Structures are given as C-alpha cells and as structure tokens.
Amino acid sequence: MERVIKRKEGLAAEYGRLALTMQTVTETSEDTYSIDTNDVPMLNEGILASAKHITTGQILLEDESRGWDEGVLEDTKRQRDGLVSMRDMFDRKDKLSKDNIPQLERRIQATESKLAGVRAKPDNLKKPGEEHKLGEAISKVSPSKDGPLGLISIC
C-alpha cells in the first residue's frame, strides 16, 4: 500500500510537470507560428484546456494518495495488528493448553508423601499448621465430582 501511495504521488508530480510544460508552450507558440498567427489563440486555448485537465488529474491523484495514506493504510495496519494479536493468542492457547493431568498427579503424590512424613513425626517436631496446610494443598487438586482431578477449580 505504501508503494502504491508513493507511485501515485510520483505520478501526480509528473502530471504537474507536464501541465507546467504545456503552459510554457503557449507562451512561445506565437513565435513558433509567426507566419500565420490567426490560429494561435485557438491553439493556445486548446493547450491550456489540456493543461487544466492534467492539473485536475494531478489534484485528484494527490487527494487519492492522501486519502489512502490517512485512511486505508492506517485501517489496514490496524487490521494487521488485530490479526497478529489473534494469532499470538492462539499460539499461547496451543502452548499452554497441554494435558496437565500427569503433572498434577505427580504433585498430589509428592504432597501426600510429605503429609505422610509429617504425620509420622512426633508432635513436638511438627510445625504448627503444617499438616493442615498440606491437607489443603491436596484437597485443591484431588479427585472430586467435578472431574478426574477436580481441575475445574484450578484451571
């Protein structure tokens, strides 16, 4: 889109040079046709009308280029940014939505073994609340009626 805009701007500049050249031709046409100058005013009129038409085309090209630059290009960039964000979101979903059940099962087993070790300690060596804390950790991820490991509350 940016290249198209640059081409339109370049084309508009060429139109401007062509119109200016045509206007300068009318200044010398009387000297060029000095033998019979009767038709020179009509010739100049036709050349100036063509130059005016080309100048109008130049203005339209510049306006179109500016409109594309300010409107379409910015909208296209915004659309592209939205699509890139959406792609990134799906990439994150694919990356993070792997099967976590084996990992959670290992975590439960490790916590249960820690709990068994804490329960086996004599009361005077236990930290206050340690057994309760490990029991809470297990209950957060242990099997329940919500699913195989009660993952609804975790995920």
Residues 59, 21 share a domain: yes
Contact predicate 45/35, CB 8 Å: no
Whether 153 is in a domain gets the answer: no
Query: What are the CB-based long-range contacts (under 8 Å, 24+) for 18-25?
Result: 18/51, 18/54, 19/51, 19/52, 19/54, 19/55, 19/58, 20/51, 22/47, 22/48, 22/50, 22/51, 22/54, 23/47, 23/48, 23/51
The mean per-residue pLDDT over the stretch 130-141 comes to 77
Number of domains making up the chain: 2
Residues 132, 79 share a domain: no
The DSSP annotation for 92-135 comes to HHHHH-S--HHHHHHHHHHHHHHHHHHHHS-GGGSPTTHHHHHH
Residues 131, 111 share a domain: yes
Quick check: 149 pLDDT over 60?
A: no
Residues 55, 11 share a domain: yes
Whether 146 is in a domain gets the answer: no
The mean per-residue pLDDT over the stretch 128-140 comes to 78
Picking from 79, 96, 113, the residue at the C-terminal end of a domain is 96
Whether 151 is in a domain gets the answer: no
Instruction: Give the whole-number percent of the chain exceeding pLDDT 70.
Output: 90
Q: pLDDT for 25-83, tens place per residue?
A: 998 888 887 777 788 889 899 999 999 999 999 999 999 998 888 888 888 889 999 99
pLDDT given at position 57 = 95
